[in-house]
Amino acid sequence: MLIVLRVLVGVLLVAHGLVHLLYLASDVTEFSLDRSWLVPEAGRRPVAYVLMAATIVAFVLVALCVWQVAGLTSAWPTITVIAAGLSTVLLLLFWNWHLVFGLVINAALVVGAVVRPAWLEQFMGGG
């Protein structure tokens, strides 16, 4: 049962990373690179592409931690905070109120990685 849960959680983490690719879909208005309150128009796409790629890679690494890939297991708190941080920066730079759920997910991930409750440590293989 634990293996199934690990697979499911890992897949959800990868999906959370991949959802950032919706910024590339012109018909999904919630995710738009056409507006940013901070990034000038000329820099929007390059900044967004770098953040999208880094976010996806980071969330795949978090999933690999969940799947207990050797060498990554103990790094899960740091990688999780980095992944959630990258995602949060991207969401905030290209903000739309519909994206608040993504910030909630990121906040929950950061809290889990910082507080590291016993049940989470045990799930991640540290306890």
DSSP helix/strand/coil, 31 = coil
Tell me the backbone φ, ψ of residue 34, rounded to 5 degrees: -80, -15
What's the pLDDT score for residue 91?
Answer: 98
Question: Domain tally for the chain?
Answer: 1
* pTM, entire model: 0.95
- The whole-angstrom separation of Cα 28 and Cα 45 is 16
With cut-offs at 50, 70 and 90, classify the pLDDT of residue 127: low
The CA-based diameter of the chain, rounded to the nearest angstrom, is 49
Quickly tell me which residue has 């990688």 as its tokens.
79
CA atoms within 13 A on the CB side of 57: 6
Percent of the chain with pLDDT strictly greater than 70? 98
Percent of the chain with pLDDT strictly greater than 90? 97
Per the structure, the complete domain to which residue 13 belongs is given by 2-23+30-123
Is residue 95 a contact partner of residue 30, using CB atoms and an 8 Å limit? no
Listing DSSP states for 45-87 in one string gives HHHHHHHHHHHHHHHHHHHHHHTT-TTTGGGHHHHHHHHHHHH
pLDDT digits (tens, 9 = 90+) for 43-56: 999 999 999 999 99
pLDDT digits (tens, 9 = 90+) for 55-69: 999 999 999 999 999
